[in-house]
Amino acid sequence: MIPEMARGTVYGTLMNFKGELDALGAKMNAAPYNAPPKAPVLYVKPANTWSENNATIAVPGEVEIGATVAMVMKSAREIAGYVLMNDLSLPQDSFYRPPVKFNCLDGFLAIGERMRSRNEAGDPAVFKLEVRINGSLCQTVRFSQLVRSADQLLADVSEFMTLGPGDMLMLGVDVGRPRAKAGDRIDISMPALGTLTNTLVAEAA
Amino acid sequence: MKHARVVYQGVVHAATEKDGWRLLLDDGQLVSPDAVTWLPPLKPLEKPRTILALGLNYADHAKELAFKAPPKEPLVFLKGERALNGHRQFTQRPADATFMHYECELAVVIGRAAKKVKRDDAYDFIAGYTAANDYAIRDYLENWYRPNLRVKNRDGATPLGPWLVDARDIPNPMNLALKTTVNGQVTQSGHTKDMIFDVPFLVEYFSSFMTLNPGDLILTGTPDGVVDCQAGDVVVTEIEGIGALMNTIS
């Protein structure tokens, strides 16, 4: 089950891990980008992408795992809690246009079932996620590496748009997104937020 | 039929157009359009509605914005519902903005779940049409997921309405004149027949990789003729047979 509170628009954040910026390096100043991003770079994961914990997700081929945490909003500035997310995407290497065809496929956003408040989950700056494919650890995501802290991100996003109750803002996906394919089981876990498990299946022809 | 959603004396009502000028509320009251507050003409949904918006979907607008060749594939971005606004409402111009422009767009409202729909069947999946004004604040344009949400997803910066017109009343949405007036002067005029990717194509394209659900929206892009607007300007985006959507910049 997706937490009762989590019923609003889901926003993802690009380039909020230092590793993402480092990986691009000088390319950020070249065409088509011409400059590093100034404001937070956001995208929407529409409702057709939502999957529950333990759901199977149909994929047309290899996908990239996007292990992250979302803030679930209680009001414009108040956070109800944090929840695990698996923000799946088809592999792609351009950040110039919104990647709708790559990341808005049905089921491509798994949402954890355990929402925990800041008091219960702790400071997001020390969050650490482990990503396993078929039981093998393949990525550790450290939120100490965020460009904008959770609070700073929320403040900078709120400068140009207001989040409403139930809206979700994902903190970002680090580089080195593990790839997975049909048949793989993906577990994303963090002690306070539990485990988000999904299995990929081949999309029916 | 033309459908609206309005607030009358503090209560939200579904309404329909009556006698060409009045509103028939869902409780039977007949009221003047001046007596209500207009909401976007869309039923609330349990989950957030998907709002797909096209960039550069008219050949002349693509040229205007210095694109050498028209796009080969739709340029699409998504919005959140808090960007929507009603007829006769206000949209804020940020204090530091130097270029804020309207975009008059035909908006398609999906009527039933669409997955892998072929273009010949596309119209079966459309509930109706409304007019949109997809404002952009170009000062904030960055080349990361362009057009980025700071340009395109501001609170209340996408007015919609006044009416949702049933699809059966619009036999050919690809044959409608569009125009925008700013303080009564025509500044933009175009025609839906000049879309690069037409409505049936868009339904086929999006439904090829994602499910479109009832109530989802496709904003189909704007033609040539966008100009900077100032606080106080009254902007009317009008589509033939669909309606004239009024907005004031504050």
Token couple for B202: 């868009």
Segment B6-20 shows an average pLDDT of 97
Q: How many residues does chain B have?
A: 250
Nearest to A54 by CA among A168, A177, A185: A185
Closest residue to B82, CB basis, from A10, A100, A162: A162
Q: What is the dihedral of CA B168, B174, B177, B182, to 10 degrees?
A: 100
**10 Å Cβ neighbour count for B30?**
11
Asked if residue A54 lies in contact with residue A198, where contact means CB atoms within 8 angstroms, the answer is: yes
Mutate to test the interface with A, among B149, B152, B205, B218 (most CBs of A within 10 A): B149
- Which SS3 state, helix, strand or coil, does residue B189 take? strand
SS3 (DSSP) at B162: strand
Average pLDDT of span A158-176: 97
Identity at B237, one-letter amino acid code? T
| CB < 8 Å to A7, chain B | 46-48
Say whether pLDDT at B37 is over 70. Answer: yes
Domains defined along chain A, listed by start: 10-202 (3.90.850.10)
Residues in chain A: 205
* CATH topology classification for B45-249: Fumarylacetoacetate hydrolase; domain 2 (3.90.850)
How many Å apart are CA B157 and CA B84, to the nearest integer? Answer: 6
Residues contacting residue B92 through CB under 8 Å, at least 6 positions apart: B154, B155, B156, B157, B249, B250
- Among B48, B142, B210, the residue with its CB nearest the CB of A38 is B142
B172 confidence band (pLDDT: 50, 70, 90): very high
Q: Which of A147, A181, A149 is CA-nearest to residue A65?
A: A181
Q: Which residue of B has its CA nearest to A46?
A: B50
Q: Which residue from B42, B45, B6 is spatially nearest to B23, judged by alpha carbons?
A: B6
Answer yes or no: is pLDDT of B229 > 90.
Answer: yes
pLDDT digits (tens, 9 = 90+) for A68-127: 999 999 999 999 999 999 999 999 999 999 999 999 999 999 999 999 999 999 999 999
pLDDT of residue A204: 84
Tell if the CB–CB gap between B149 and A48 is shorter than 8 Å.
no
Give the residues across from A116 on adjacent strands. Answer: A82
C-alpha span between A144 and B112 (Å, rounded): 44
Residue A22, H or E segment: helix A18-24
Two structure tokens written together for B114: 């669409």
Average pLDDT over residues B192-204: 97
Average pLDDT of A17-24? 97
Is the CB of B144 less than 8 angstroms away from the CB of A46? no
The 8-class DSSP code of residue B83 comes to: G
Kindly report, residue by residue over B55-111, the tens digit of the pLDDT.
989 987 666 666 667 778 999 999 999 999 999 999 999 999 999 999 999 999 999
Q: Which residues contact B248 (CB under 8 A, 6 or more apart)?
A: B88, B89, B90, B91, B232, B233, B234, B235
Sign of the torsion angle spanned by Cα atoms A53, A183, A13, A130: positive
- Residue A182 confidence class, pLDDT cut points 50, 70, 90: very high
Q: What is the pLDDT of residue B149?
A: 97
CA-to-CA distance for A203 and A182, rounded, in angstroms? 8
CB contact under 8 A, B145 and A101: no
Give the span between the Cα atoms of A87 and A85, in whole angstroms.
6
- The Cα B231–Cα B250 span in angstroms is 5
Whether the predicted pLDDT of A31 surpasses 70: yes
Residue percentage of chain B with pLDDT more than 70: 96
Q: Where are the domains of chain B?
A: 1-39, 45-249
Asked if residue B3 has pLDDT above 80, the reply is yes
Distance CA B193, CA B167 (A): 17
Mean pLDDT of A158-165: 97
* Candidates B45, B72, B142, B145, partner chain A, best to mutate (most A CBs within 10 A): B145
Q: What is the CA radius of gyration of chain B?
A: 17
Percent of chain B with pLDDT over 90: 93
- Residue B218 reports pLDDT greater than 90: yes
pLDDT averaged over every residue in chain B: 95
Mode of pairing for the β-strands spanning A56-59 and A194-202: parallel
Fold of B1-39: SH3 type barrels. (2.30.30)
pLDDT of B223 reads 94
> Is A32 touching B (CB cutoff 8 A)?
yes
A76 — phi, psi (to 5°)? -55, -40
Mutate which of B115, B144, B205 to disrupt the A interface (most A C-beta within 10 Å)? B144
Euclidean distance between CA atoms A199 and A110, whole angstroms: 10
A70 vs A84: CA distance, rounded Å: 6
- The predicted model gives A153-180 an average pLDDT of 98
Q: What is the mean pLDDT of residues B45-58?
A: 95
